[in-house]
Amino acid sequence: MRRIPLILSLVALSAVAACGKSGTKSDAAGAGGPITVKATDTGCEVAKSQLDAGTHVFAIANSGTKVTEFYVYAAGDRVMGEVENITPGLSRELRVELPAGTYQAACKPGMVGNGIRNTLTVAGSASPLSEDAALAQATASYTRYITTQSEALLQKTTDFANAVKAGDIEKAKKLYPVARTYYERIEPVAEIFGDLDPKIDGREDDATAALPFTGFHKLEKDLWVTKDVSKDGAIADQLVTDVKEIVTKAKAEKLSPLQLANGAKELLDEVATSKITGEEERYSHTDLWDFAANVDGSQAAVAALRPALEQRNPALVKQIDTAFANVDTELAKYRDGDGWKLQNQLTREQLKGLSDVINALAEPISKIAGVIAQK
Ligand SMILES: [Cu+2]
């Protein structure tokens, strides 16, 4: 789950981070170049509504006053692609592979609600990117990663939920960041499935009547702030049920290679907007656990794509390796036992140091989608 940063003193840092390159212009953009999307506070104007099957680039420009998001949904609100945290004045690109079918393109000004929706009709047939052997191998190997991580997520979440239900606050506090790690590694996949991510990972300020404050962060608050989990049995059980559903769905999901590329970038956006700022783990301050997990998840997607990237752009692979190594070195400074220092123990300069290495990594990572979409 991702949110606009709440901590004002750090807004400037994350705004820089969010400037993840509006664009490596339209290589392999599909006929006619990018499809422009004009996002405002009240509108979402998509330049085309009829598309040919294949890979398309959406170029989203936010001319509103609110931070927005852009989604392409398949039936049942399955997310085919998303870009979050498009701040006012910013433009971002999203590459999505769309087989024939009916989709919805949505902008979400203020990052809340169902969004302003447009129907997209995609017709014809195109050979999928996964016809390329190296890309097919990439999705197969990343799917194995998702499977092992999501199984561990279920195990660790169950242990955590049991500690909550037993009223063992100390034990639950120890298990919390561990369970979270597995969720944060697979987050782009977990976010594909409609309401499951908000139910598992939603924040108090995003809660609505339809989607009340539940899941990990509700338990986090009760463990660290309220210090009373005596009424949280049902929430703990629901969290395990929701995680089970993620595991089942994630295993069955057929990912496009572009979802790996987009996911690798989304995870770094997550780090910039919700971990460095301390937004996500605002009660426990265990954000660096999530930070490391988001980076792990990004690295796993890149590792799966590596043979395909080596074929297409070996220089980019080198650049990415160096940037990942720099993140590891910077983050390693904040190791504490088998865990991490708390976010609020870091100075502003230290957080800035982390922000800088993440920005430097996000830059080459943002090029991956364009590189693999080239045939
Ligand atoms: Cu999250």
Q: What is the pLDDT of residues 134-163, one digit of tens each?
A: 999 999 999 999 999 999 999 999 999 999
Considering only residues 21 and 87, tell me which one the structure prediction assigns the higher pLDDT: 87
For 163, counting Cβ atoms within 10 Å of its Cβ (0-12 exposed, 13-18 middle, 19+ buried), the class is buried
| Spacing, Cα 337 to ligand 1 middle (Å) | 23
Q: What average pLDDT score do residues 33-53 get?
A: 96
Q: Which amino acid is at 334?
A: Y
CA of 202 to the centre of ligand 1 (A): 8
**Among 270, 256, 258, 255, which residue's Cα sits nearest to residue 368?**
258
Give the C-alpha separation, 284 to 300, whole Å: 27
Question: Is residue 24 pLDDT above 60, yes or no?
Answer: no
Q: Which pLDDT band holds residue 31 (cuts at 50, 70, 90)? A: low
How do 44-46 and 35-39 pair as beta strands?
antiparallel
Q: Which residues contact 27 (CB under 8 A, 6 or more apart)?
A: 370, 371, 373, 374
Q: Is the pLDDT of residue 21 over 80?
A: no
Let me know the angle formed at the C-alpha of 177 by 346 and 139, rounded to the nearest 5 degrees. Answer: 105
CA of 181 to the centre of ligand 1 (A): 10
pLDDT at 132 over 60: yes
Q: What single-letter amino acid sits at 344?
A: N
Nearest Cα to 258, choosing from 294, 321, 304? 304
**Are the CB atoms for 156 and 148 separated by under 8 Å?**
no
Residue 116 has pLDDT above 60, yes or no: yes
State how far the Cα of 147 lies from the Cα of 140, in Å rounded to an integer: 11
Least confident of 19-33, 58-72, 84-98, 332-346: 19-33
**Does the pLDDT value for residue 19 go beyond 50?**
no
Note the pLDDT tens digit of each residue in 329-349.
999 999 999 999 999 999 999
The 10s digit of each residue's pLDDT in 178-237 is 999 999 999 999 999 989 999 999 999 989 999 999 999 999 999 999 999 999 999 999
pLDDT for residue 1 = 55
Per-residue pLDDT, averaged over 291-318, amounts to: 97
Does residue 42 carry a pLDDT above 90? Answer: yes
CA 165 to ligand 1 centroid distance, Å: 23
Residue 49 CA, ligand 1 centroid: distance in Å: 32
Other Cβ atoms within 10 Å of 47 Cβ, number: 12
Distance 57 CA to ligand 1 centre (A): 26
* CA of residue 52 to ligand 1 center, whole Å: 34
In this prediction, residues 27-55 reach a mean pLDDT of 86
Residue 72 has pLDDT above 80, yes or no: yes
Looking at residue 290, what is its pLDDT? Answer: 97
User: Distance from the CA of 61 to the center of ligand 1, in angstroms?
Assistant: 25
110: left (phi over 0), alpha (psi -120 to 50) or beta: left
Q: What span, in angstroms and rounded, lies between the C-alpha atoms of 112 and 207?
A: 10
pLDDT of residue 172 exceeding 80: yes
Q: Distance from the CA of 44 to the center of ligand 1, in angstroms?
A: 26
The mean predicted confidence, pLDDT, of the chain is 91
Q: Which residue has the tokens 């693999």?
A: 372
Instruction: Find the mean pLDDT for residues 295-302.
Output: 97
Tell me which H or E stretch contains 151: helix 133-165
User: From ligand 1's centre to the CA of 114, what distance in Å?
Assistant: 19
> If 0-12 CB within 10 Å is exposed, 13-18 middle and 19+ buried, where does residue 141 land?
middle
Ligand 1: centre distance to CA 17 (Å):
17
Residue 20 confidence class, pLDDT cut points 50, 70, 90: very low
Please return the burial class of 347, using the count of CB atoms within 10 Å of its CB with bins 0-12, 13-18 and 19+: exposed
> 28: CA distance to ligand 1 center in Å?
32
- What separation in Å is there between the alpha carbon of 289 and the centre of ligand 1? 11
Give the pLDDT of residue 33.
85
* Total residues belonging to the chain: 375
Query: How far apart, in whole angstroms, are the C-alpha atoms of residue 110 and residue 206?
Result: 11
Q: How far is the CA of 195 from the centre of ligand 1 (A)?
A: 14
* 76 pLDDT higher than 80: yes
- Taking only the tens place, the pLDDT of each residue in 242-254 is 999 999 999 999 9
Which single residue is written with the structure tokens 């595991």?
247
Tell me what percent of the residues of the chain surpass a pLDDT of 70. 91
Q: What is the pLDDT of residue 346?
A: 98
Q: How far does the centroid of ligand 1 lie from the alpha carbon of residue 297, in Å?
A: 12
